Chain A
């Protein structure tokens, strides 16, 4: 059963047609690899699902209800989490503050609520341990390595019981060992029945975890195939345009 269903979704920025008439569906417990050249529209597509952009045309349905979102907060309320391509981190804040950015834990009743520092440090620490990351919750993101920064961005998706996790190049800046950790995490999410969209330029990563591959070219969907029915060569051809469409 489809958990998310996009029908004829388009997005244009002025004259730029970033996403053009894309339909796709996502099932629970499914990992979909989303591939395409630079500027193909991958980030724009997932940002619409994450409530950052509103589609210019088309409809989104989640669990058979129409999904209309104005803010990222609403997407999270629906159980949609995203790791942004540029990680969306504030260097001047601690790891824990970044993890909870936009949904801080607070204490107190009524209008005067204060930030629950202890609670956020504790929860962030637990998540980092789960992710087998050495990131410390109190450290400033400014001083962190690429892998630690990535862990902070990924930790955000673990705050709630997500149904859909969108990962926009989560393995772009990290070591081989950490890539393996991220891929393991994706499998773990899948086993929990979460639908995962993985955007990556790294063919081996996608072929290692994805059940299905969707290829975008210049804003259009040119392929949507089970992983068993395709090959890295074919996908490369589809990305570059050597193969028109399948």
Chain B
């Protein structure tokens, strides 16, 4: 009798321990702690960090990388990569801008931009899932093609007049409609919640993890691997398209070099947040926290008066540290 009670108590204890150790073992958790400490440090070390204006800017700047990192995280979980997001963002912005500049309303512009992103994503998905081409190569091709198409669409000019709904577009991306929170932040929160829900609670999310864990096993057990992969690349492009629309509203102008090099920041955010490039691991929260860390690093360098040229070193260092941490954790687990 008492032994049963004992074992039960032990099991419960073990469960609590494993929950705690799971938290302590999670890369996302430690990156989150790093973000919090960096923010605290900057609050006391500088006068300009914890000002409403600076916090507003930081939170808004995070969103563009974070939104795309959500889509990228899905791709990375399946074991793929999407290098095209920066160019797709540019192309979708340009489609939006050119459509609205031609006199169409904002709904038409947004619909055209989103349709563009979905077509690009479906194209990736079909080449990768059905033809079997490596995601790296396919999206590397689009990295080049999409930006070139954006140049063609705009005649390589700056678009800054958006027709009859000009003001609405600018308010959409640049405004702060609720409690002084920048609109893009709200979009990011909503998209993060949706992504988190889908990954954890839906069958689609479960299949995304299964494909990353063991694609062959997923196929043998009847997971519709190919359609899911197509959907994942469409979501990745879609997230780039949405970020492009928001960014256009915020900047109020589109040049053909927006989003250049963005893919690397996005991948960095996902990886810092705990997504494993080998597939099978990653979360929506991680993507947001990873993006936050990158932005805090960028912001702090400016505030601390460190030359902006050092930025790359710090971000690169953060990537290496995050992944190194992951390795150390694995060594520990293998020792046990």
| Cβ 8 A contact of B214, one of A71, A72, A91, A156 | A91
Q: A97-B206, A101-B210, A113-B203 are in contact. Are A90 and B222 (CB under 8 A)?
A: no
Task: Report yes or no: A72 in contact with B201, Cβ–Cβ below 8 A.
Answer: no
- Complex CA gap A130/B210 in Å reads 26
Extra 8 A-B pairs, beta carbons < 8 Å, given A89-B214, A97-B210:
A72-B220, A87-B217, A90-B210, A92-B280, A93-B210, A93-B213, A101-B206, A115-B202
Which one of B202, B212, B214 has the greatest number of beta carbons of chain A within 10 Å? B214
Task: Report yes or no: A102 in contact with B223, Cβ–Cβ below 8 A.
Answer: yes
Binding site for B on A (CB under 8 A): 51-52, 71-73, 76, 84, 86-93, 97, 101-104, 106, 113-115, 156
Specify which chain B residues have a CB less than 8 angstroms from the CB of A104 in the assembled complex.
203, 206
Interface residue total, chain B, C-beta cutoff 8 A: 18
Q: A52-B220, A71-B222 are in contact. Are A115 and B213 (CB under 8 A)?
A: no
Task: Report yes or no: A88 in contact with B217, Cβ–Cβ below 8 A.
Answer: yes
Specify which chain B residues have a CB less than 8 angstroms from the CB of A51 in the assembled complex.
222
Which one of A73, A92, A103, A115 has the greatest number of beta carbons of chain B within 10 Å? A92
Task: Report yes or no: B212 in contact with A101, Cβ–Cβ below 8 A.
Answer: no
| Cβ 8 A contact of A90, one of B201, B202, B218 | B218
- Complex CA gap A3/B197 in Å reads 44
- Complex CA gap A103/B203 in Å reads 9
Q: Does B329 contact A (CB under 8 A)?
A: no
Q: Does B233 contact A (CB under 8 A)?
A: no
22 contacts between A and B (CB under 8 A): A71-B222, A72-B221, A72-B222, A73-B222, A84-B217, A88-B216, A89-B217, A90-B209, A90-B217, A92-B280, A93-B206, A93-B210, A97-B210, A102-B222, A102-B223, A103-B222, A104-B203, A104-B206, A106-B203, A115-B201, A115-B206, A156-B221
Specify which chain B residues have a CB less than 8 angstroms from the CB of A93 in the assembled complex.
206, 209-210, 213
Task: Report yes or no: A114 in contact with B209, Cβ–Cβ below 8 A.
Answer: no
Interface pairs A-B: 8 shortest CB-CB: A90-B213, A92-B280, A72-B222, A88-B217, A102-B222, A92-B213, A102-B221, A88-B220
Interface residue ranges of B170-203 to A (CB < 8 Å): 201-203
Least Cβ–Cβ distance between A70 and chain B, in angstroms: 11
Specify which chain B residues have a CB less than 8 angstroms from the CB of A102 in the assembled complex.
218, 221-223
Q: A90-B210, A93-B210 are in contact. Are A101 and B203 (CB under 8 A)?
A: no
Specify which chain B residues have a CB less than 8 angstroms from the CB of A86 in the assembled complex.
216-217
Least Cβ–Cβ distance between A136 and chain B, in angstroms: 10
Q: Does B281 contact A (CB under 8 A)?
A: yes
Task: Report yes or no: B203 in contact with A91, Cβ–Cβ below 8 A.
Answer: no
- Complex CA gap A113/B259 in Å reads 36
Specify which chain A residues have a CB less than 8 angstroms from the CB of B280 in the assembled complex.
90-92
Residue ID in chain B nearest A75 by CB atoms: B222
- Complex CA gap A60/B213 in Å reads 33
Specify which chain A residues have a CB less than 8 angstroms from the CB of B206 in the assembled complex.
93, 97, 101, 104, 115
Q: A72-B221, A88-B216, A88-B220 are in contact. Are A114 and B210 (CB under 8 A)?
A: no
Least Cβ–Cβ distance between B53 and chain A, in angstroms: 40
Specify which chain B residues have a CB less than 8 angstroms from the CB of A91 in the assembled complex.
213-214, 280
Task: Report yes or no: A101 in contact with B221, Cβ–Cβ below 8 A.
Answer: yes
Interface residue ranges of B249-297 to A (CB < 8 Å): 280-281
- Complex CA gap A71/B218 in Å reads 12
Which one of B210, B216, B218, B221 has the greatest number of beta carbons of chain A within 10 Å? B221
Specify which chain B residues have a CB less than 8 angstroms from the CB of A71 in the assembled complex.
222
Least Cβ–Cβ distance between B219 and chain A, in angstroms: 8
Least Cβ–Cβ distance between A135 and chain B, in angstroms: 15
Interface residue ranges of B57-80 to A (CB < 8 Å): none
